[in-house]
Amino acid sequence: MAHISFNESIKILNENLPGVKGSEKVFLSESLGRVLAVDIAAKYDNPYMPTASMDGYAINYEDINSEIKIIGKNPAGHFDIKEIKRGECVKTYTGSFMPENANTLVPIENVEVKGDKLIIKEKVNRGFSVRPVGEDFKKGEVLIKKGTLITAGEIGVLASLGIPVVDVVKKPIVSILATGEEVVDLGEEYKIGQIRSSNNYTLTALAKSFGFEAINLGIAGDVKKEIKSKILDALKTSDVVVTTGGVSVGDFDFVKEITGEFDVLFHGVNIKPGQWIMIAKAGDKFIVSLPGFPYSSFVTFLLYVVPILESLENKKVIKKIKAKLKHDFVKKFKKYQFVAVNIEFNGEFFVDTIGKKQGSSGILTNLIGNKALMCLPEGLYELKEGIVVDVLVYERVM
């Protein structure tokens, strides 16, 4: 079977990406990291009256050269004195409304008080420390756009608007199933020739680290009926079902047969690692069958599963950037290759492979502390120190 190119596989995937899932309401306190499903517009001006931005005395600027009578005070949260006349002032605190006819705030440190008289020792400009109406936002202004990832700043604005419940995009659900008669789960007896299951744990953790809902389905042996049953059950509750192992050309690679019963988008891509990646659609759901080698399944999950989940929730968790290579690197494989690299930012991004092992697709330890993959197009060639390369970044690097 001839493999398609990496670029062709991405083109096919992009043409079949799903739309955004529906929305749901969550409490504001639970909205961190979620994607906003609606525009948030201001229902009023903020502030909706001229407001003091520091402690001091609210005066009419025309009286700044005069001795002014103090007629009372307006603590924050109170608005007892709503108006002043010429020659009058009110002691005012941060966040208090300015009385009518008061247009300037004189800081406490600029004045001297003698009884009920205010003497201004250091003058300020007209309008000093007075927040105008709508300084923060105007009524009707869209403050947070639909599709925004909610962070602490957005939560602060939502709280200031008095919004206790937020409309957010539903999280996509991905279920992960490891296959293979040789795969042994944690705590089970380990025999020669068997391997410990890591893929289902690794990929479940990876999906959760991006904020998606992930379900670890455990292990299914090389029994076609069992594998198919688990996949069909998972499709009832999940948007994407991921399997690892059983997609190459072995006698017991049943996953490819099961996945092949659905609408196959492609099977086999000219990449390293992960050439036997297989993707099929099951109605509006997806089945993504990944290779069994740990490094292969990790990389192909990033390349092919994450874009589907991103599309469902309308957010990006992986970025493609440019970085300079810190040393020479010889590409020894003809396929489009993804190499685990160290990455740092020093005015610009730099990558290197120091401490990374070069070898088979089973080297899972290359991913310890790893945040990025260097993307190397097809061909055999040598990259020189200082050359700019494409890098996929899947964790925060600065």
Q: How does pLDDT run across 339-391, given as a tens digit for each residue?
A: 999 999 999 999 999 999 876 666 778 888 899 999 999 999 999 999 999 99
How far, in Å, CA of 174 to CA of 315, rounded? 16
How far, in Å, CA of 198 to CA of 189, rounded? 15
Predicted local distance difference test score (pLDDT) of residue 98: 96
What's the CATH superfamily of 23-41+143-169?
Molybdopterin biosynthesis moea protein, domain 2 (3.90.105.10)
How far, in Å, CA of 350 to CA of 344, rounded? 5
State mean pLDDT over 213-239: 90
State mean pLDDT over 95-101: 95
CATH second-level architecture of 319-393? Beta Barrel (2.40)
Quick check: 302 pLDDT over 80?
yes
Quick check: 187 pLDDT over 80?
no
Q: Hunting for tokens 């292990």 — which residue is that?
A: 219
As a whole number of Å, the CA-based R_g of the chain is: 31
Q: Are 247 and 259 within 8 A, CB to CB?
A: yes
Structure tokens at 259: 């996945």
Q: Do domains 6-21+171-313 and 319-393 have the same CATH topology?
A: no
Class of domain 6-21+171-313: alpha beta
Backbone angles phi, psi at 123, to 5 degrees: -75, 155
Quick check: 193 pLDDT over 60?
no
Predicted local distance difference test score (pLDDT) of residue 252: 47
Predicted local distance difference test score (pLDDT) of residue 256: 82
CATH of the domain spanning 51-131, picked from 2.60.40.10, 2.170.190.11, 3.40.30.10, 3.40.50.720: 2.170.190.11
pLDDT single digits (tens) 61-89: 999 999 999 999 998 888 999 999 999 99
Tell me the domain boundaries of the chain.
Answer: 6-21+171-313, 23-41+143-169, 51-131, 319-393
Predicted local distance difference test score (pLDDT) of residue 251: 42
